[in-house]
A and B are shown apart, each in its own frame.
Chain A
Amino acid sequence: MPRLAGIGELENLRAAAVAERQRASMTLIVCGGPGCQASGCRAVADALSEELAREELTSEVQLRVTGCHGFCEQGPIIIVEPAGICYCRVEPGDIAEIVSTTLRGGVVDRLLYADPSSGERVRSAWEIPFYRLQDRVLLALHPEIDSSSITDYIATGGYSALAKVLGEHSPDRVIKAVTSSGLRGRGGGGFPTGRKWATCRAAPGDEKYLICNADEGDPGAYMDRGVLEGNPHLVLEGMLIGAWAIGARQGYIYVRNEYPMAVEHARLAVAQAREYGLLGDNILGSSLCFDVEVARGGGAFVCGESTALMASLEGKVGEPRAKDVHTVEDGLWGKPTVLNNVETWANVPLIMRNGPAWFAAKGTKGSKGTKIFSLTGRVKNTGLVEVAMGTPLRTIIYDIGGGAADGVAIKAVQTGGPSGGCLPADKFDLPVDFDTLAQAGSMVGSGGMVVMDEHTCMVDVARYFLAFLQDESCGKCVPCRLGVDRMLEIVTDITEGRGRPEQLELLEELGETVRETALCGLGKTAPNPVLSTLRYFREEYEAHVRERRCPAGVCRALIAYQIDPERCTGCGLCRTACPHGAITGESKQPHTIVADACLRCGICQSECRFEAIVLTERG
């Protein structure tokens, strides 16, 4: 394919690509997102393409492996277009039936999504409550596009925003449009994107850089991964528009090496864009010259912080530096640099395509547009969820997420990853936007949402996140290195039954100190898990400290297992399962647990079929 020399050639290519897509009368869409990959969609896609070849249907039926659709809980997912039929949890063995039934115009009932309450089968994907209640903008593009194909992207309107911008918008007009759309950074800070671009454009110097931050590292979050894997050209187009706006010639996509498919797709997209002349000199016949390099991160969480990321890109140790002079003035190699998150870049082409008013129409006063959340933990429907800013937590967790996974009441939700906070169930009516969550002591962050139920100990959760942050702290500044370490020491004391009441105040004071004085964003937000759980679940801390009791029955030092002799049938399952040999008893006689030998791993409880093993407090 020769380079596209102008906007006219891009439109010709688009027309050809659309015609090519319409050639097939039917399209089978297989979700190839990270969730579905884990449930084996690769085998399903292979089986499907073999089946189509065997039945000689390759010209009529198109197979499209796409990025994440979002409903990871039900993966692997196949959608049959144009009817829009959605099949869930498909296995390679189901393929022959799907192909033959679909050709006849029928539907494989048993593979349709079943409503958990009524058991009713739902035919179309968009009628499933999980999808219906969302406001999908970015994620809605994923099923349309084979993520390794630039022509697919162009056929669905790709690079039209770039053409529009190059044809009729001055850089200032682009910045004005982004500013008036109200777009705020999706990476966690929520800084107004338009203002960032304007400062960088105004900063002195000809050499400027753009960075796409795809170093997503929060436990349980994969929004950026989903977008970069599923629609890499959208991110590239956003960066191209950004390059035009601020006058940059070079951009970087910093993606963590643990995301091999995101690296692969980003590299492929860059290579394709170069081939088509969408990266390089005089893009689409304009004066825009811009190229992008894909840089792989080594997996340090702190490298998601802007200054640490830039140090890492420069080949130095990935450590943050003081940001008294902002990176938009003094960033990568000391030059003005704009760093935005994957999702922020992905929103830019859509704003330019549909106009800033379209974007600003969604969301709340201070937070516009939609945001992708990765809903995980103890809910029925885990996956990627895209909703308008301002949607209440309750809608996301109960209506879209389907509520508690196995009937245990939901107690809290942890938003914003390790740096975010835990919000209790009585705060679930809060609208999800940058300012409201920050006021409530948590944050939107990059969009992780971990739902916790009554079987989760909040002190243990705080300990887990502190341990994560202590591990990931770069160790440069005292409050983060020593402060987080001491907080972990105290919280570990509490979970192991050595806590003292005055330690709770110390924990709060120390948390405040770290929050105020740490060098970078990681340190400043590191106390959030502790401070928010102390604020909303203080009674759990009190129970650990004063009564030496873990209300959720999680902290091993504070619990004990006992066998109810009434219920025990003496089957011996627990005795053989116990790895510590702590269970004794004659066959067909009630067994007993030797308290001294028991390490309270809980294996016996999950093995017992008679609910004879009960959790008690350790006396």
Chain B
Amino acid sequence: MPQYVTLRIDGANVVAPRGRTVLDVAIEYGICIPHLCHIETISDMGACRLCIVENVVDGRTKVTTSCTLQVQEGMVIATNTERIRKLRRNIAELLVAEAPNSRAIQDIAVRCGVKRVRYPFRNRDCVLCGRCVRVCAEMWDARAIGFVGRGKERHVDFPFGVRPDFCKRCGSCVQLCPMTITPCDGPMGPGEERLCGKCESQLMVTERMPDTCVLCDLGKGFACARHG
């Protein structure tokens, strides 16, 4: 029998089994916390930092990622305060400036309230969310790809740059990659990068209902935990 704990998320009393993370529980209850590197059933690494929430411990408010935070009895979580929105917007801005050619990331940026990008665009192919690496290791136990290098040099690659036999070309890595969803108008070339804001999708609804999961199309595209 799982043990249950009661906690408050954005003022709502929530009952959840011990051992689950705040992000999982929030999504289950229809509270949308933007997230990128999180995939349900796969372990979390806390890389993208989009799912940050405020956790009040002993009267002190700590900002922490909800995907690595396990539920505890009596916890008080705020997912959508002014401060969190601002921090999240800044992180999303960093991400979209790095990789404007992903509709997933463009949509996350809009979802997080990014109105303009104050950094030069870079047009990278990878934001190192690590979804591919973890799904390969944990779902298929293959470990055919991994992170190589440190800091600026960090990238995803096969061991020694050669595709090993134990890569079965299952394609899970590609399927879960947020970079595979191209912008509606097609890929942007170097120098053409911009913040995509034309889309009148359900994302716009999120401006009126900022902390409610609206089952947005974006989620389907990059396999948001809500869509499973």
Contact = CB atoms under 8 A, between A and B. Distances in A.
B151 A517 contact: no
A474 B87 CA distance: 21
B152 interface: yes
Given A477-B46, A486-B94, A516 B63 contact: yes
Given A322-B46, A517-B52, A519-B46, A481 B154 contact: yes
Contacts of B128: 475-476, 481
Contact of A475 (B46, B50, B97, B149): B149
A515 to B, nearest CB: 10
Interface string A473-509: 1111111011101100100000000000000001001
A596 interface: no
B94 A479 contact: yes
B95 A482 contact: yes
Interface in B121-138: 127-128
B175 interface: no
Nearest to A320: B46
B87 A513 contact: yes
A275 interface: no
Contacts of B149: 475
A376 to B, nearest CB: 25
B64 A478 contact: no
A479 B68 contact: no
B204 interface: no
A470 B46 CA distance: 19
A485 B152 contact: yes
B49 A322 contact: no
A224 B95 CA distance: 38
B91 interface: yes
Nearest to B69: A324
B68 A322 contact: yes
B90 interface: yes
Given A482-B98, A510-B90, A470 B147 contact: no
A132 B89 CA distance: 54
Q: Which range holds the interface residue count of chain A?
A: 20 to 34
B49 A518 contact: yes
A478 B37 CA distance: 11
Contact of A473 (B48, B50, B151): B151
B91 A479 contact: yes
A516 to B, nearest CB: 5
B14 interface: no
A489 B68 contact: no
Contacts of B147: 317, 475
A300 B94 contact: no
A322 B119 contact: no
B47 interface: yes
A482 B87 contact: no
Nearest to B118: A506
A540 to B, nearest CB: 22
Interface of B: 44-50, 52, 63-65, 68-70, 83, 86-87, 90-91, 94-95, 97-98, 118-120, 127-128, 147, 149-154
Interface of A: 300, 302, 317, 321-322, 324-325, 470-479, 481-483, 485-486, 489, 506, 509-510, 512-513, 516-519
10 contacts: A302-B150, A473-B150, A477-B49, A478-B48, A478-B91, A478-B127, A482-B98, A510-B90, A512-B87, A517-B91
Enumerate the 3 nearest inter-chain pairs by beta-carbon distance, A residue then B residue, closest first.
Answer: A475-B154, A322-B68, A513-B90
